[in-house]
């Protein structure tokens, strides 16, 4: 059964079967990454542009690696040195790039809705690599893949997202995706970093991290997104760490081992202590590896026409 959309703009409202198809397809590509020659000819002849208007380490490298592993031609765009610095609009940038016969666009932008906007003005398939505080669908897909790899399922599991929920696109995509797949999602953080009506999305809210830890299988720990905060939401990072930082001492109070996830970049000893980030229950680096396979699956499904 083919995926039902030409683009991947977010996970809100995506059919369960599409997510299942992406995760199952990623399993095939994950096996390719263990081969001595990690390349398949699937997207030979396709040209993909990575349009990154915001900084990125993992997502940009992961997409580029996924594209090259699929034998696509890859063009990387960075704002510095481009005509955006001279005042060119997003629409004009995209249409000029498309005139060069681009097949797919991967876009990261600080504005929520930037990927949706692009999908309306270009003919290429558009993949959202993070749009402001809105969504980051491939991050949530790789998070779900990593959970499924460890637990063999998503349905019935409890996932708690801890940290700066208000400024996080990872949180929203995880909430949508995990709920579609039958998991229970909660959030935890200081009141100032939890959106007011978030319960309307069907999530439970914890303001006490020890209580959250007692009731979950997985903690997905988020960074404090200082670059998106226009004022101070807590007195100091030390105070944040004392109350909400995930430490060995807090985890020892749990009745079972808790799987630790983090989308990166990590601020060690702020939202998570170094020993927990590197500990035996951490799957943080598996997330990074799985991200390449998941992005290969998304690019393949959308780029080969299997997508429509």
Q: Which residues bind ligand CP (CB under 6 A)?
A: 56-59, 130, 136, 139, 263-265
Q: Which is nearer to ligand CP, 241 or 262 (CB)?
A: 262
Closer to ligand CP at the Cβ: 195 or 264? 264
Q: Which residue's CB is nearer to ligand CP, number 202 or number 265?
A: 265
CB of 56 to ligand CP, least distance (A): 3
Q: Closest residue to ligand CP, Cβ-based?
A: 59
- In the complex, what is the shortest distance from the CB of residue 59 to ligand CP, in angstroms, rounded to a whole number? 3
Q: How far is the CB of 270 from ligand CP (least distance, A)?
A: 16
Residue 208 CB, nearest distance to ligand CP (Å)?
A: 27
- Cis omega (within 30 of 0) on the bond before 29? no
Which is nearer to ligand CP, 57 or 123 (by Cβ)? 57
Cβ closer to ligand CP: 69 or 262? 262
Residue 130: CB minimum distance to ligand CP, A = 6
Smallest distance, Å, CB 11 to ligand CP? 15
Q: How far apart are CA 82 and CA 72, in angstroms?
A: 23
Residue closer to ligand CP, measured from CB, 2 or 265: 265
């Amino acid at each position: 059964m083919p995926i039902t959309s030409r683009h991947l703009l977010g996970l809100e409202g995506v059919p369960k079967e599409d997510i299942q198809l992406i995760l199952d397809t990623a399993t095939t590509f994950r096996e390719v990454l263990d081969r001595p020659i990690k390349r398949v000819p699937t997207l030979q002849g396709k040209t993909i542009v990575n349009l990154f208007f915001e900084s990125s380490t993992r997502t940009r490298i992961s997409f580029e690696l996924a594209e090259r592993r699929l034998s696509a031609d890859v063009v990387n765009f960075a704002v510095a040195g481009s005509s955006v610095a001279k005042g060119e609009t997003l629409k004009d940038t995209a249409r000029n790039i498309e005139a060069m016969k681009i097949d797919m666009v991967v876009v990261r932008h600080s504005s929520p809705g930037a990927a949706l906007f692009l999908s309306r003005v270009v003919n290429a398939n558009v993949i959202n690599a993070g749009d402001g505080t809105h969504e980051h669908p491939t991050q949530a897909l790789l998070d779900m893949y990593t959970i499924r790899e460890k637990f063999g399922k998503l349905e019935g599991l409890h996932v708690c997202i801890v940290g700066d929920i208000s400024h996080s696109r990872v949180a929203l995509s995880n909430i949508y995706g995990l709920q579609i797949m039958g998991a229970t999602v909660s959030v935890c953080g200081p009141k100032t970093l939890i959106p007011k009506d978030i319960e309307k999305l069907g999530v439970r809210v914890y303001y006490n991290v020890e209580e959250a830890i007692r009731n979950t299988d997985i903690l997905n720990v988020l960074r404090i997104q200082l670059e998106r905060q226009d004022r101070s939401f807590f007195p100091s990072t030390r105070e944040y760490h004392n109350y909400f930082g995930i430490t060995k001492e807090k985890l020892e109070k749990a009745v079972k081992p808790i799987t630790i996830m983090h989308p990166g970049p990590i601020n060690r000893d702020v939202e998570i202590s170094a020993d927990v980030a590197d500990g035996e229950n951490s799957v943080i680096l598996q997330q990074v590896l799985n991200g390449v396979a998941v992005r290969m699956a998304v690019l393949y499904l959308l780029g080969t026409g299997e997508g429509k």
